[in-house]
Structure 1
Amino acid sequence: MTLSLHSPLPVLVRDATEADMAQVQAIYTFYVTRSAASFEEVPPNVDEMIRRYATTLERGMPYLVAEDQGEVVGYTYAGPWRPRSAYRYTVEDSIYVAPFVQRRGVGRALLGGLVERCTELGYRRMIAVIGDSANQSSIALHRAMGFRQEGVLRGVGLKFGRWVDVVMMHRALGDDSRPLPDGCTAPPFPDIEG
């Protein structure tokens, strides 16, 4: 029996470890070098990916990977949306899926896990900043997971010799009728811009 290329891939979504960062770096390198999904132009090395991973954990934020038969096939994490303290209950997601498993449910499993974890931590909103309005897979994934498109910033990036858009999407986390986050477990981010 031959599996369709679009058959769901049963993956294990789990907390990332430092040992996963070499595989994470390989996935990210694909997007940096071959797409406008990331506006980075030079792929970071494994040491830099470990530093970014550690920063995410230091902030108390989730960093998840999807694993298939011992191989990392995608990853996602949350970071602060903006540094000023009034934004401390809003996060931004980042998600990347290995190109050979796209359209197999890996992104949905990862983003679903991230949304659940951030909701449990008490965050109220999640923002998606999607590189390239032609990135219909990411836009469709976010829409399927309850994100609403809020706008398009036209031609704000220059990559591969062309001007690239950014698509802004967002969704609520949990019930909007929740009281103000008195005692919320979400850590405040420092107001670094004073």
Structure 2
Amino acid sequence: MTPPKATIRPAVHADLKAVSDIYAHYVHHTVATFDETPRSAADWGQWLDDLTGRGLPFLVAEVSGAVAGFAYAGPWRPKPAYQYAVEDTIYLAPDATGRGLGTALLSPLITEATRAGRRQMIAVIADTGSDASAALHRRFGFADAGRLTAVGHKHGRWIDTLLMQRPLSEPGPDHERGLPPAERRR
């Protein structure tokens, strides 16, 4: 597999129509997402602003001047105790799959989430019958953390989700390594 020449960069508002179109494909035609209504470009704009306001990465893969995929690290759960855990999300344009763009996006996503002071990255992968997403995550050190059976129902079928987890930074002896500098003991 020869990956296309891709530029991986932070998403900007001008990218969000393409992001919306890519995601809409998965909403309408797959069970990779449990959303049943696509998000508008304006919705994506609010999400981009929220993530960047939290210091979290939202990246796009650009190939030949067009957005061919996107990835972001979003909050794992809304409760404060989960603030150092993020969930990764990666979607590729339907004609851009299987060419190495997932790898090209996940590597810098992990780096940027680590720089943002997060300690754990979690992948929630719908069991679509393909192992591609799980295999991608395993290549980056994610380990199986569990399976939730028949938790989603979409397109007339019940879907399991595979949970995978990867440490971004290890706690030090005082369990503070990985905290943002402002929260470390001096």
| TM-score under structure 2 length normalisation | 0.90
**Is the 2:169–2:178 contact (alpha carbons within 8 Å) kept by the matching residues of 1?**
no
Q: What residue is the counterpart of 1:185 in the other structure?
A: 180
- Stretches of structure 2 that go unaligned for 5 or more consecutive residues are none
Shift of 1:176: 4.7
The runs of 4+ residues in structure 1 deviating greater than 6 Å are none
Shift of 1:67: 0.7
1:123-158 deviations in whole A, cap 9, x for unaligned? 111000112252411111111111111111111011
**Is the 1:126–1:172 contact (alpha carbons within 8 Å) kept by the matching residues of 2?**
yes
CA 1:81–1:99: 2 relative to 1, 3 Å: same
Q: Distance in 2 between matches of 1:45 and 1:101?
A: 21
Shift of 1:175: 4.1
Identity %: 42
Segment of structure 1 superposing worse, 133-142 or 178-187: 178-187
CA 1:17–1:158: 2 relative to 1, 3 Å: same
Shift of 1:35: 0.8
1:24-79 deviations in whole A, cap 9, x for unaligned? 01110111111111000111222112122222122221100011121111101111
Shift of 1:7: 2.2
1:150 aligns with 2:145: yes
Q: Give the secondary structure class of the aligned counterpart of 2:165.
A: strand
Q: What residue is the counterpart of 2:31 in the other structure?
A: 36
Q: Which of the numbers 48, 52, 56 marks the counterpart of 1:61?
A: 56
Q: What residue is the counterpart of 1:26 in the other structure?
A: 21
Q: Give the secondary structure class of the aligned counterpart of 1:129.
A: strand
1:85 aligns with 2:80: yes
- Stretches of structure 1 that go unaligned for 5 or more consecutive residues are 1-5, 189-194
1:138 aligns with 2:133: yes
Shift of 1:178: 7.1
**Is the 1:133–1:152 contact (alpha carbons within 8 Å) kept by the matching residues of 2?**
no
Q: What residue is the counterpart of 1:164 in the other structure?
A: 159
Shift of 1:20: 0.3
CA 1:143–1:137: 2 relative to 1, 3 Å: same
Q: Distance in 2 between matches of 1:174 and 1:131?
A: 26
CA 1:93–1:186: 2 relative to 1, 3 Å: farther
Q: Distance in 2 between matches of 1:152 and 1:182?
A: 29
Q: Distance in 2 between matches of 1:131 and 1:62?
A: 22
**Is the 2:145–2:165 contact (alpha carbons within 8 Å) kept by the matching residues of 1?**
yes
Q: Give the secondary structure class of the aligned counterpart of 1:150.
A: strand
Shift of 1:174: 3.2
Q: What residue is the counterpart of 1:10 in the other structure?
A: 5
